[in-house]
Amino acid sequence: MNLDSQTPEENWKPQDPITNGRLQEIRFWVTIMKEHALFIAAGLPCDQPQLIAEARAFFERFQALEDKVKQAKVISPKLLAEIIAAVKALIAFKRGLLKMIIQCQIRTAILPLFLDHITREAIHFLEILINPPKPLDSLQQILKRAVFWLRIMKEHIEFIIHLLDPSERQLIEQAEALLEVFRRLLETARDLESMSEADPRFFNAAVRFIFEVNDRTNELRDFKALTHELVVLCRVLSIIPDPVVTDHVRREADKFLKELEAFKSVTNICESLLSQNANN
């Protein structure tokens, strides 16, 4: 995605204020971006004061935007342009950091995959801002979104495993079992997404898969909630720097579950059409 050529500000002029469900979506992602900046600042080494200051400046910038969107009843074109500019700048900052880490220019406590992970989330948010999402009305669209979220969920588990102390064997075993489940789900989602390009009228295996993803994501969400509670109560050994980390990944699982509810409503329609076709 070319951030500069996609929609340059001089040519892009939003006309209508944003209301209703999309307002809630923007509120969610602005808070996520704020927390990304917090995590980056916490993981940078003390010999990089300029980068730490930049990360903190992004935290403050998104905190101010968070206050604005929480108070807003609509997202005005001016505020929308302000959010877009902030997200584009944060993506560039994340990519710059990742490049420096990959090239061994700086050494940090931030995993390169984590930086790539949060960059993909920011790009997803930017796409939502620039191209208002349309209702997901096909299994192909649903499967594409499922691939995005399943990769996010899989990586959350990997990060949790790396942050837990090796002595936390029971929690690590639970996380590793979930990781195998989500690796399989992601691989299957990619296969089904590719098959859906044939544009079948019915794809009942994909319908069944969406319901399975919902069940497994509920299990993951419960594991994340347990981990968060243990961190808050200081009942787990880890290098998790702040309970915000575990709350962050739990909220993203809740977000995926909310989207899955919408997916299920579409797939229910698909199943109904399939039954009608069978009866005829």
Percentage of the chain with pLDDT > 70? 86
Q: Do residues 239 and 265 share a domain?
A: yes
Q: Do residues 102 and 90 share a domain?
A: yes
Q: Judge whether residue 142 has pLDDT over 70.
A: yes
Q: Do residues 169 and 65 share a domain?
A: no
Q: Do residues 145 and 128 share a domain?
A: no
What's the pLDDT at 202?
A: 85
CA dihedral (89, 257, 154, 173) positive or negative = positive
What's the pLDDT at 18?
A: 56
What's the pLDDT at 19?
A: 55
**DSSP-based three-state secondary structure for 166:** coil
Q: Do residues 168 and 261 share a domain?
A: yes
Q: Model confidence at 138, in pLDDT bands (50, 70, 90)? A: confident
Q: Judge whether residue 154 has pLDDT over 50.
A: yes
pTM: 0.88
Q: Do residues 82 and 159 share a domain?
A: no
58 touches 37 (CB < 8 A): yes
Q: Do residues 128 and 177 share a domain?
A: no
Domain limits at 80? 1-133
Q: Do residues 221 and 175 share a domain?
A: yes
Average pLDDT, the chain: 90
Q: Quick: pLDDT tens for 161-192.
A: 999 999 999 999 999 999 999 999 999 999 99
Percentage of the chain with pLDDT > 90? 80
Could you give phi then psi for residue 24, rounded to 5 degrees? -65, -40
Number of domains in the chain: 2
**Domain final residue pick, 133, 151, 169:** 133
Q: Judge whether residue 11 has pLDDT over 50.
A: no
CATH of the domain at 212: 1.20.1260.120
Q: Do residues 70 and 157 share a domain?
A: no
